[in-house]
Amino acid sequence: MNFIIFDLEWNNAYNYKLKRGMNEIIEIGAVKLDENLKVIDTFKQLIKPKLSKKLGSRFKNLTHITIDEINQSGISFENAFDNFSKWCGKGDNLFLSWSTSDLYTLVANFKEFENTVYVDFISKYADAQKYCMHFIENADSSNQISLSNCAEIFEIDTDCINFHRALEDCMITAYCFEKVYDADILQNFIHTCDISFFERLIFKPFYIKEAQYSTFNLDETKIICPVCKGEIKPVKKYEFTNNTFRGAGICDKCGKKFWTYIRAKQTYDDIVVSTRAVQINKKRAKHLV
Ligand SMILES: [Zn+2]
């Protein structure tokens, strides 16, 4: 098995078609390691942007890439990834990147420019950041560690390295990966990348605002009385605000009155419904029904 560590630099551009900002890939870098973790090849390519020719200040400050440089040696997104895919080859490759945000951006760019979320040359993927953090004591999984921090913790000499250029970041990631490489532990971090893997990665969960949507039916959603476990029957039409259906009801067993709340969230494979009932104080309950 070879390891391909890739890194992307992107510019936040406004996408007029989607009417929102998106990260457009401007540079791709990669290193290929053989099974003994020896560097056998490198890849580096600038990409001419399609959405915005204007480079944001964050991008410029981070990468120091100039528009002249891009005009001189940049090629189209399609050609860049054709070349990259050929460079990767069809063999048994494990792809790695420092955090899934690079993979996410890659898939989002594929969706925009290649009209598919399926990045067909990636069949196996592992998050190098997550893997390395596994070996750092007291690392908090919610508090992601930067590549430069990790290099420092692993005592890797980065004095002559420019962080935030794609190929350099790949080399540092490779050094970090080598430092804590364990074939058995790595197995637990490898994802098989079929179409649903990519769809899931890019899927954005949302709250349902329709009373009937797919398997969700607002009127059939049961709310259990927190006092006696009876069922609260609605006495008022639901209103939808703040992603929540808000209503009121009376328990059919104990007769207490409640404000009721229902939330339905569409996730990639399911609709998750949550309900809540808050007892209405006596004074207000009198006026209700
Ligand atoms: Zn009750």
Question: pLDDT tens-digit profile of 200-215?
Answer: 999 999 999 999 999 9
Query: Given a cut of 80, is residue 76 above it in pLDDT?
Result: yes
C-alpha 188 – ligand 1 centre gap (Å): 47
Assigned token pair, 80:
């860049």
List, in sequence order, every beta strand (DSSP E) within 34-89.
Answer: 39-46
C-alpha 252 – ligand 1 centre gap (Å): 7
C-alpha 230 – ligand 1 centre gap (Å): 5
C-alpha closest to that of 201 among 264, 115, 263, 111: 111
Cβ atoms of residues 131 and 177 within 8 Å: yes
C-alpha 210 – ligand 1 centre gap (Å): 28
Q: How far apart are CA 202 and CA 58, in angstroms?
A: 24
C-alpha 250 – ligand 1 centre gap (Å): 8
- Residue 80's identity, in one-letter code, is A
C-alpha 220 – ligand 1 centre gap (Å): 18
C-alpha 243 – ligand 1 centre gap (Å): 26
Question: What percentage of the chain exceeds 70 in pLDDT?
Answer: 98
Cβ atoms of residues 9 and 26 within 8 Å: yes
**HEC states along 199-230?**
HHHHCCCEECCCCEECCEEHHHCCCECCCCCC
C-alpha 256 – ligand 1 centre gap (Å): 6
C-alpha 261 – ligand 1 centre gap (Å): 16
C-alpha 227 – ligand 1 centre gap (Å): 5
C-alpha closest to that of 221 among 275, 266, 265, 257: 275
Out of 6-20, 105-119, 229-243, pick the least confident. Answer: 6-20
Query: Given a cut of 90, is residue 126 above it in pLDDT?
Result: yes
Query: Given a cut of 90, is residue 43 above it in pLDDT?
Result: yes
* Mean pLDDT of the region 259-266: 96
Q: Taking each helix axis as running N to C, give the angle between helix 195-202 and helix 101-113, from 0 to 180 degrees, rounded to the nearest 10.
A: 100
C-alpha 270 – ligand 1 centre gap (Å): 30
Q: How far apart are CA 205 and CA 207, in angstroms?
A: 7
C-alpha 234 – ligand 1 centre gap (Å): 13
C-alpha 283 – ligand 1 centre gap (Å): 18
Assigned token pair, 219:
């009127």
C-alpha 49 – ligand 1 centre gap (Å): 61
List, in sequence order, every beta strand (DSSP E) within the chain.
Answer: 2-15, 20-33, 39-46, 93-97, 124-127, 191-192, 206-207, 212-213, 216-217, 232-234, 239-241, 244-251, 257-266, 271-279
Instruction: Place 289 in a pLDDT band, splitting at 50, 70 and 90.
Output: low
Assigned token pair, 136:
């750092």
C-alpha 30 – ligand 1 centre gap (Å): 62
pLDDT in tens, 136-192: 987 776 778 899 899 999 998 887 777 778 889 999 999 999 999 999 999 999 999
C-alpha 222 – ligand 1 centre gap (Å): 13
Query: DSSP 3-state assignment of 9?
Result: strand
> DSSP class of residue 124?
E
Instruction: Place 2 in a pLDDT band, splitting at 50, 70 and 90.
Output: very high
